[in-house]
């Protein structure tokens, strides 16, 4: 369906330096990436997602001349028809939504029942849309968060009241560890980038998941 694999010409424009806000704020490096708008539009017209009380469209993020943003982002406050809350609600571009839904329904909910014996009720959203450089390092490449194409999750709440944290559980209790490692592995089936505590110290307390394109054909995946 999505034919944007056809490259829209390798841009000869040198990486543009986007100065964001006043000089004391971090700035990022970005370049034109026409595939992003094509991919978002293809998702919007595909009928892959439907608005509901848990998924509401919002006005465009970013603006002319800005690299950050999304044409028609969505605020997602729950997955699996309201059974699993996202708190606070995540601001995401269209292609992220089916990926998050599949991860929650096919991976996280079954893993919570299998490893922890209780239904999943809530995900703690540590970050979604944020116009900033990667890892908040000034001068770095624009993060996928800047395109509303990334989601960070730090906690998992269960119906019995337990809260499983990435920070405490990754190397913690054997059942929590099994749960967290299983859903990290499962995320790699749905997202093109998955970073957890084993990637680096910045990810010691959350999973980062995004739909960036990696490699020359954009088909590579990063799962760490």
Footprint of Zn ion (CB under 5 A) = 152, 208
On whether the CB atoms of residues 119 and 113 are closer than 8 A, the answer is yes
Cβ at position 208, least distance to Zn ion in Å: 3
Shortest CB 120 distance to Zn ion, Å: 21
Residue with smaller CB distance to Zn ion, 115 or 208 = 208
DSSP string of 53-117? TTEEE-PPBS-TT-SS-BSS-EEEEEEGGGTEEEEEEEEE-TTHHHHHHHIIIIIIHHHIIIIIS
Nearer to Zn ion, 29 or 212 (CB): 212
Contact between residue 27 and residue 138 where contact means Cβ atoms under 8 Å apart: yes
Q: End-to-end CA distance of the chain, in Å?
A: 29
Return the residue matching tokens 């439907």.
50
Pick 36 or 206: Cβ nearer Zn ion = 206
Which residue has the CB atom at the shortest distance from Zn ion? 208
Which residue, 182 or 212, is less far from Zn ion as judged by CB?
212
Closest CB to Zn ion among residues 67, 116: 67
Among 60, 103, 68, residue whose Cα is nearest residue 84: 103
Cα separation, 178 vs 181, in Å, equals: 5
- Least separation in angstroms between residue 198's CB and Zn ion is 15
Q: How far is the CB of 219 from Zn ion (least distance, A)?
A: 21
In angstroms, rounded to a whole number, what is the distance separating the alpha carbons of residues 195 and 123?
17
Q: How far is the CB of 52 from Zn ion (least distance, A)?
A: 25
């Amino acid at each position: 369906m999505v034919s944007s694999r056809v490259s829209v010409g390798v841009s000869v424009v040198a990486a543009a330096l986007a100065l964001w806000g006043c000089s004391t704020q971090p700035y990022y490096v970005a370049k034109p990436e026409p595939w992003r708008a094509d991919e978002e539009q293809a998702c919007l017209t595909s009928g892959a997602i439907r608005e509901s009380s848990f998924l509401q469209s919002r006005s465009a993020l970013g603006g002319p001349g800005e690299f950050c943003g999304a044409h028609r982002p969505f605020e997602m406050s729950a997955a699996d028809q309201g059974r699993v809350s996202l708190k606070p609600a995540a601001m995401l571009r269209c292609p992220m939504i089916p990926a998050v839904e599949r991860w929650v329904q096919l991976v996280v909910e079954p893993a919570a029942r299998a490893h922890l014996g209780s239904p999943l009720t809530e995900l703690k959203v540590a970050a979604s849309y944020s116009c900033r450089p990667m890892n908040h390092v000034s001068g770095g490449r624009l993060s996928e968060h800047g395109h509303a194409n990334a989601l960070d999750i730090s906690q998992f709440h269960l119906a019995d009241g337990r809260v499983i944290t990435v920070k405490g559980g990754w190397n913690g209790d054997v059942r929590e560890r099994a749960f967290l490692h299983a859903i990290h592995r499962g995320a790699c089936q749905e997202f093109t980038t998955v970073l957890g505590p084993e990637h680096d110290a910045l990810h010691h307390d959350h999973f980062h998941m995004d739909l960036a394109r990696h490699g020359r054909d954009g088909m590579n995946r990063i799962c760490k």
